[in-house]
Structures are given as structure tokens and as C-alpha cells.
Structure 1
Amino acid sequence: MPSTALSLFLPCFSRRRPGAFSTACRLLLTALLLAGLAGCSTFGNSNNQQKPPPEPDLSELAHQAAQQMIASNPDLTRYSPMIAATFVSIDNLSQSSTFGRISSEIMASALAQQGMQVREVKMRDSMFIEESVGELILSRQVQRLTAQHNARSILMGTYAQGQDYLYVSTRVVRSGDAMVLGSADFRVKLDNNMRSLLEGQGGW
């Protein structure tokens, strides 16, 4: 107990005073007890600070994106069955990576859990972006595949690598006219795990 507080308490125990614990002494004792409890609480909180929760991983973000697509267009599942194209790098639309392939697979799985019927098709050279106008162009091979598998929609996506995050843009387009039926964007923390997925660059 600090010397100042002790000096305040000494008169309460003095034999010269008939009422050792007067009302003033009781109030002083209560105040000191409350101050002590507050100090203990502060000390406990400083030692038990909770760490921030980890950022969601690719699977969690893909499922959230699928939910967002369905919420924004509940009729999206009517455009089943759907086939999925590998996601490509926004910097080189003819190149993909392990990340582009697995993110497409996970996104297709997430949409399937939301009620979308997904046909398993390994697509090659399935689409490209005409950079001059930014319009989505479907190749003849995609038209052939959609007709062959009776697909009414196609899952497509692009990704861009930043300093700390990977930015992913995904959409479901109608196979007949490339009309966007649903879209979602998310970012993934660029850690060592994601960097290793990006290292597997290659064609479709």
C-alpha cells in the first residue's frame, strides 16, 4: 500500500478515536479496494489481449463469393449446367498457374454447394479478353464445348498479384451471348503458400 494511503488509514486505527472505523474510513477503504480491483483488471487485460483472427483462406473466400453470387441473382442456378474455365492472370491472359487452376475448381465446388449443376470439363484455350474494348469473347471451342455438354453458363475468372494480396475477379456468364449472370470479387492474403501456387505458371 502506498505511503500516502497508509497515512490516511492510520487515524482509523488510532486508540485515541472511539470509533476506529468511522464512515469516512469505510468510504476510504471502499475506494482503495475498488482502485485495487481496477488495477488488477487492467493488468489482466494487458496480459490476455486476444490476437486478431486469421484472415480467411482461399476456400472460405470462394464460398463467400458463391453465396454473394446467388444472393445477388437467385435465378443463377436456373442456368445449369455450368462448366468452369481456368482462372487466368490479368497480366497475361494466355497464362495461368496452379493458383488459377485450383481457384477455379474451388469456386465451381462452392457454386455446386449453392445449387448450381456443374459439369466436369477440363477446358483448354476456352476464352480470352479483347484488351482494346475489354469485352469477353468466347472462342469456337467454348461454343463447341457448351453445345456438347448442354451447358448454359460458364464460370470464368482473372487474378492480379499485388504486394500483399492476390485480387480475384470471378463471374458466371451465359453461354449463348456472354451476358454476365453473377460476379464477385475478393482478395487473398499473399503468403508463402499463395506464392508457391503462383510459381506453377503455365498454359491452360
Structure 2
Amino acid sequence: MAVGFFTLLLSACSVLDNNSAPPEPKPDLSELAHQAAERIVAGNPDITRYSPMIAATFVDIDNLSQSSTFGRISSEIMASALARQGMQVREVKMRDSMFIEESVGELILSRQVQRLSAQHDARSILMGTYAQGQDYVYVSARVVRSGDAMVLGTADFRLPLNNNTRSLLDAGGW
């Protein structure tokens, strides 16, 4: 009988222990983007030599001419995170010379890379794509040398898909 009571007591304690610590919150877009920026710089510590950098809006992998609020904020957060890692980031939205399509953002297609980088005196460009799955949004970010389109650094991450993320992915969310 004492063994049964002791077993019951131990199982009650383990239930209490499991309930006492709240589950860790899932990482958000900002946290994941900052971790990705750290990985980009860690993978190529000389990447900051390719400053200044301009940031292009991240685009939908299934339609490279389409973006969303998610694509715009992802590139903004990644540019901020890279700036915190020592990259000089040139803000192109302040300049009249770059056309910004209202519903898409600053899309940079390969044929425009050299013209835009020369226009903004940029040595590199932050580019990225995203794809929506059933449970996650997958993001691939890379810093590309503007002169020859060589990839200088890259990082990928996935963000849990919830109602907040779904609303950012709505292309009409502009």
C-alpha cells in the first residue's frame, strides 16, 4: 500500500511540474529575421564590405512579380537586422528616382539590378522569396553583389502560420 501511495504522489508531482512552466512562445517574424541576419553575416564576415546595400521587397515564390504586406515587412525587418550587424543600408524609399509600385513595393527583377544599384550607388542588394504552406511560411533571404549577381550570404527560416501571418500574406493587405 505504501508503494501505491508513493507512486501516486510521484505522478502528482510530475503533473504539477509540467504545469508550472508555461510553454515557450513561438518565435515571431522579427526574431527569426534577426537570427537569419546573424547567420548571413556569420557565414561571410566580409559581407559588410559590400555596403551600401539596398533592400528589395520579398516576393511570392510562385509569382515573382507579386508581393504582400508580409513581403514588404519581411524585407524591412531583414534590412534593419542586417544594419544592426554592421551592413550600411541605403533607404531607397526616400529617393524620387526609384519607382515604387503601390501594391507591390520595391520589386527588383534581375534585368533591373545593375541599373538600380548604380542609380543608388549600392554594392549589394537584399532579396528574398516566401512560400505559404499549410502550417508555415517559408522565407529565403539572400544578399547579392550588385555587380555580378553573386550571392554573398543567405539564410532561410520558417514562420508558423497563424491568423496574424495569414493577414500579412493577403496580397490585398496594402
Choose which of 13, 19, 25 in structure 2 pairs with 1:44.
Answer: 13
Q: Distance in 2 between matches of 1:103 and 1:67?
A: 15
The answer on whether the counterparts of 1:70 and 1:76 sit within 8 Å (CA) in structure 2 is yes
Q: 1:160 — aligned with what?
A: 131
- Structure of larger gyration radius: 1
After superposition, what is the alpha-carbon deviation per residue over 1:132-163, rounded to whole angstroms, capped at 9, x for unaligned? Answer: xxxxx241xx4333223211000000000000
| Partner AA of 2:9 in structure 1 | C
Choose between structure 1 and 2 for higher RCO, CA contacts under 8 A separated by at least 6 residues.
2
Q: 1:185 — aligned with what?
A: 156
Q: 1:85 — aligned with what?
A: 56
Q: Distance in 2 between matches of 1:52 and 1:73?
A: 35
Shift of residue 42, structure 1, vs aligned partner: 2.6
Moved more, 46-55 or 70-79: 46-55
The answer on whether the counterparts of 2:68 and 2:172 sit within 8 Å (CA) in structure 1 is yes
Q: Distance in 2 between matches of 1:92 and 1:200?
A: 12
Structure 2 matches for 1:67-82, cutoff 5 A? Answer: 67-82=38-53
> How many residue pairs end up in the alignment?
162
After superposition, what is the alpha-carbon deviation per residue over 1:54-94, rounded to whole angstroms, capped at 9, x for unaligned? Answer: 22100010001000001110001110000000000011111
Shift of residue 45, structure 1, vs aligned partner: 1.8
Shift of residue 35, structure 1, vs aligned partner: 7.5
| Partner AA of 1:45 in structure 2 | S
Q: Distance in 2 between matches of 1:38 and 1:78?
A: 63
| Identical-pair percentage | 69
- TM-score scaled by structure 1? 0.72
- The answer on 1:127 being equivalent to 2:98 is no
After superposition, what is the alpha-carbon deviation per residue over 1:83-132, rounded to whole angstroms, capped at 9, x for unaligned? Answer: 0000000111111000000000000000000000000013546433xxxx
Shift of residue 200, structure 1, vs aligned partner: 3.6
- TM-score scaled by structure 2? 0.84
Q: 1:112 — aligned with what?
A: 83
Aligned CA-pair RMSD: 2.1
Q: 2:27 — aligned with what?
A: 56
Moved more, 118-127 or 176-185: 118-127
